[in-house]
Amino acid sequence: MFYFLEGCGVVEIGDERREICKDTLIEISVNVPHCWYNESDKVLRFLVIKVPRSKKLVKIL
């Protein structure tokens, strides 16, 4: 899981690309390609939370 603490950025999960901002939680299953982009000059800060493997695909809350 990734919890966004500060700023805004872009997340790419598989074929989906979305803008993400502070106070967003993203859950990504194992082996799903993902990438983060900070397309601004401001700080983008997020917390990585590892838990036992999930069988669900992707959940953006």
Q: What is the pLDDT of residues 11-54, one digit of tens each?
A: 999 889 999 999 999 988 878 899 999 999 999 999 998 877 66
30: left (phi over 0), alpha (psi -120 to 50) or beta: beta
Tokens of residue 19, six digits: 């803008």
Q: What is the pTM of this model?
A: 0.72
3-state secondary structure of 39: coil
Tokens of residue 46, six digits: 């997020």
6 or 49, greater pLDDT = 6
Select from 25, 5, 23, 27 the least CA-distant residue to 13: 27
Tokens of residue 45, six digits: 């800060």
